[in-house]
C-alpha cells in the first residue's frame, strides 16, 4: 500500500476560516432567512439557538475529534476507530449525503452568478414585481442558462481544490471570509435605513421590520406546530453547520495537534450563527418595508424574487447593494462547495490511492 502524506492546514486561523467558510453558505443567506420569515420571526430563531447549544456544539467537536484521532477521512475514520462495527456505515452515508447535497447546492450557487451578471448589466431595470417572478421562473426553467452558470461555478471550485489544502483552500478562505463578514454587516445596516410611504400615507421603516424579525410570535402555538418548528430548526442546524456529512471529520484530520478544538468550534459556530442572523437582518426588514408582512413568508423565493424586487427597483444605491449581496451569496456558496468537494475528493484519494489532480478532475466531470 502506497502511503500518502496527509495534508495539513497552515495555521489555526486558516483552519477556523475554512471551517467557517464551509458552514457559512446558502444555508445562512438563503435558507435561514426564508424559514425564519415563514415562521414569522424570532420564535424560530430562539428554538434554533437552543438546538445550537445542545446539539451543534457537541456534534461539531465530536466530528473534529474523530478526524483528529483517526487521521482518516469520513469513510475510513469510523472503521479505524471502531473496527468491525456498523459505525462504518455512518461514515459512508455521510459521504453519500455530501455528494447528494452538492448536486443541488451547486445549481442554486450557479443562480447567484446569474444575479451578479444581471446586476452588472442592469438587466433588472424597469421590471414590475410580477415580472420579477416570471423572469425567475423563465430563468430557472431555461435548459441551458442555469447549466452554464453551474459549469462556471464548478470550474471555479475545481481550480481552487486542485491547488491543495494549504495553497488553494486556505488561501482563498483567508481572503473571502473577512470580506464576506464586512459585507454582511454593511448590508444589514443598509437594510435598516430603508423606508417607504404607502399610498394611504403610512410609513414603513427598516427598524419596524427589525422589530417584526426580533419579536417572537407565540400566538397559535400548538404541540404539533412546536414539534414541526423544532424539526425544521434541527434540519436547518445540521445543514448550516455542515455536520454529519463527514466534512468536519476530514478537516479534523488536517488540524495540528495543539489547536484547542472546543474553542475553535465555539468561534466557528458564533460566526455561522452570526451570519445567519445578520442575513435575516439584511433580508427581512428590506422585504417588510416594501411588501409588508405577507412578503416575509415568500419561502425559497425570498432571496431570488422578493429581495431583488426591493433592491433593484431602488436606483443606483440599491443596484450596488444588490450586486454586493449576490456577490456575498456567491462567495459564501463557493467556500461551502469547495469543502464538500474537497471532502469527497479526499475520501476518493484515500480509497483509490489516486493523486489530487486526477481525482478532482474526475469528480468535477461527474458533476
Binding interface with ligand PFF (CB under 6 A): 22-23, 25-28, 98, 101, 239-240, 242, 245, 247, 336, 339-340
Q: Which is nearer to ligand PFF, 32 or 311 (CB)?
A: 32
Angle at 358 between CA 357 and CA 359, to 5 degrees: 95
253 Cβ neighbours under 8 A, 6+ residues apart: 6, 67, 68, 70, 71, 72, 73, 77
At 184, list the grid cell: 454582511
Task: State in angstroms the smallest separation of the CB of 102 from ligand PFF.
Answer: 7
Q: Distance between terminal CA atoms of the chain?
A: 29
Closest to ligand PFF by CB, 22 or 233: 22
Nearer to ligand PFF, 65 or 101 (CB): 101
Shortest Å, Cβ 23 to ligand PFF: 5
- Residue 188 beta carbon to ligand PFF: minimum distance, rounded to whole angstroms: 18
How far is Cα of residue 201 from the mean position of the Cα atoms in its chain? 39
Between 172 and 212, name the residue whose CB sits nearer to ligand PFF: 172
> What is the number of other CB atoms lying within 10 angstroms of the CB of residue 69?
13
Least distance (Å) from ligand PFF to the CB of residue 268? 11
Alpha helices, H only, the chain? 12-23, 26, 32-38, 42-51, 57-70, 74-81, 87-120, 129-141, 145-162, 171-192, 206-214, 223-241, 247-252, 261-296, 301, 307-311, 316-352, 356-366
Q: Is 296 left (phi over 0), alpha (psi -120 to 50) or beta?
A: alpha
By beta-carbon proximity to ligand PFF, the closer residue of 154 and 340 is: 340
Nearer of residues 149 and 288 to ligand PFF, judged by Cβ: 149
Q: Which is nearer to ligand PFF, 240 or 360 (CB)?
A: 240
| HSE-up of residue 284 (Cα within 13 Å, Cβ side) | 29
Please, what is the minimum distance in Å from the beta carbon of residue 40 to ligand PFF?
22
Q: Which residues of 98-130 are buried (b: 16+ CB within 10 A; e: fewer)?
A: bbebbeebbebbbbbbbbbebbeeeebeebeee
- CB nearer to ligand PFF: give 22 or 278: 22
Cβ of residue 340: shortest distance to ligand PFF, in angstroms? Answer: 5
Q: Taking the complex as a whole, how short is the minimal distance between the CB of residue 295 and ligand PFF, in angstroms?
A: 23
Smallest distance from ligand PFF to CB 24, Å: 6
Beta bridge partners, 197, equal 203
Amino acid at each position: 500500500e502506497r502511503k500518502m502524506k496527509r495534508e495539513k492546514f497552515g495555521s489555526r486561523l486558516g483552519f477556523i476560516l475554512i471551517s467557517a467558510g464551509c458552514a457559512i453558505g446558502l444555508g445562512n443567506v438563503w435558507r435561514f432567512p426564508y424559514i425564519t420569515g415563514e415562521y414569522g420571526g424570532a420564535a424560530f430563531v430562539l428554538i434554533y439557538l437552543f438546538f445550537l447549544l445542545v446539539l451543534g456544539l457537541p456534534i461539531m467537536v465530536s466530528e473534529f475529534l474523530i478526524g483528529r484521532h483517526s487521521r482518516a477521512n469520513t469513510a475510513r475514520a469510523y472503521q479505524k476507530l471502531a473496527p468491525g462495527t456498523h459505525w462504518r456505515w455512518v461514515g459512508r452515508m455521510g459521504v453519500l449525503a455530501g455528494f447528494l447535497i452538492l448536486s443541488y447546492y451547486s445549481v442554486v450557487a450557479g443562480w447567484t452568478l446569474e444575479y451578479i451578471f444581471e446586476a452588472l448589466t442592469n438587466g433588472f431595470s424597469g421590471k414590475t414585481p410580477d415580472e420579477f417572478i416570471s423572469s425567475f421562473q423563465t430563468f430557472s426553467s431555461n435548459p441551458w442558462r442555469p447549466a452554464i452558470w453551474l459549469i462556471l461555478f464548478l470550474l471555479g471550485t475545481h481550480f481552487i481544490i486542485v491547488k491543495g489544502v494549504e495553497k488553494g483552500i486556505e488561501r482563498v478562505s483567508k481572503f473571502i471570509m473577512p470580506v464576506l463578514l464586512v459585507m454582511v454587516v454593511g448590508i444589514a445596516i443598509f437594510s435598516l435605513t430603508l423606508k417607504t410611504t404607502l399610498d394611504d400615507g403610512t410609513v414603513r421603516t427598516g427598524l419596524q421590520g427589525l422589530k417584526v424579525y426580533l419579536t417572537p410570535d407565540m400566538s397559535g402555538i400548538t404541540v404539533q406546530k412546536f414539534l414541526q418548528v423544532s424539526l425544521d430548526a434541527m434540519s436547518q442546524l445540521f445543514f448550516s453547520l455542515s455536520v454529519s456529512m463527514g466534512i468536519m471529520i476530514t478537516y479534523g484530520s488536517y488540524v495540528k495537534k495543539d489547536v484547542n478544538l472546543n474553542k475553535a468550534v465555539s468561534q466557528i459556530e458564533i460566526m455561522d450563527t452570526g451570519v445567519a442572523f445578520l442575513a435575516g437582518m439584511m433580508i427581512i426588514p428590506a422585504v417588510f418595508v416594501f411588501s409588508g408582512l405577507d412578503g416575509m413568508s415568500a419561502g425559497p423565493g425570498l432571496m431570488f424574487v422578493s429581495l431583488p424586487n426591493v433592491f433593484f427597483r431602488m436606483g443606483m444605491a440599491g443596484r450596488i447593494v444588490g450586486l454586493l449581496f449576490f456577490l456575498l451569496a456567491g462567495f459564501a456558496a463557493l467556500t461551502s462547495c469547495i469543502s464538500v468537494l474537497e471532502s469527497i475528493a479526499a475520501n476518493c484519494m484515500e480509497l483509490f490511492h489516486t493523486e489530487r489532480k486526477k481525482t478532482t478532475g474526475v469528480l468535477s466531470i461527474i458533476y
